Amino acid sequence: MSKAVVRTAQAGDVEAATDVYLVSLDDLKRRHGAPITPMDRDDWLRGYAHVLNTGIFNVIELDGKVVGLANGVLRDDLWFLSGFWMLPGYQGQGLGRKVLDKTFAEATERGAKRYFVWASIDLPAVANYMRLSMLPGYQIFTVRVPLESASRPRTDAALLEQYLLSPLEAQAAAEIDSDIRGVGRIEDHIYWSKDPGRQGWLVQRHGQAVGYFYQRQGQVGALAYLDKGDEGAFLDLALAQAANCEAAQGSGAVTVMAPGINSSALSSLLSRGARFTSHSHFLTSAPFGRLENYLPSGPHLY
């Protein structure tokens, strides 16, 4: 085998790196008997370009071909590993460790003190994360809420009318994230605001901001609320918004990702007839924020 080269990704590597992710993900699902569903390649191309522009992105190359990647975003001192993938046929040879270690070393050099990852069910990858002091916290469940249930509020109508929605601005979302996520990450909200398929809403009650949520093509998240007492209303509002979109109408369901730490939201979704479609693992080197009041956007930016 030729010598592997680990290097900083360039703009021209985004397409190849995205395809490494998509091919490797399908292979992972096949090996574990998980259903293979179509992925939005354009969305991931935009997402990987965002990570390249605002984070740390390395690839590993053999004979001029990108065969693996590790990338992530550093917001203040909080590092999130956005991606770690190797093409089938190149796994189990120590190549992944090279690109992963380089990426983590760079994150540490830039000031990272806390690390976390949305981990797949691939045990060798999980072992690599634990080696880097990211230990298991809880599972993340992806569920689908039937359209009829998603469209039907559980909150009393008079109470629900106290919540007002307005278009979300990045600065307002960052201020809420400073509490709920532990860091503001305004650059990620700016990125989401430019996604033509995504809608973000600021939620206010009695003239005060109480949280925000996004929906994109029938999927809810990110979603954050400052007070646990607002959780039911937030789920009603977010599910209803997502249920109105064309993608949800076509699939007959709204997709939500719920971390185990937010057990009350997960229980509420199950009571609405939600069905599990997949699960992943949340690993972290240290607790941060108030993630019991949060539903993630997905494995790209959490």
Secondary structure of 157-219 as H, E, C letters = HHHHCCEEEEECCHHHHHHHHHHHCCCCCHHHHHHHHCCCCEEEEEEEECCEEEEEEEEECCE
For a pLDDT cut of 90, what percent of the chain falls above it? 92
Paired sense of beta strands 135-146 and 208-216, if any: unpaired
pLDDT digits (tens, 9 = 90+) for 244-291: 999 889 999 999 999 999 999 999 999 999 999 999 999 999 999 999
Mean pLDDT of 67-90: 97
For residue 57, give the nearest of 98, 111, 128, 8 by alpha carbon: 8
pLDDT digits (tens, 9 = 90+) for 19-63: 999 999 999 989 988 777 788 999 999 999 999 999 999 999 999
Distance CA 285, CA 283 (A): 7
Q: Which CATH architecture has domain 142-279?
A: 3-Layer(aba) Sandwich (3.40)
Fold of 5-133: Aminopeptidase (3.40.630)
Residues of the chain with CATH 3.40.630.30: 5-133, 142-279
CB within 8 A of 216, min separation 6: which ones?
A: 195, 197, 198, 199
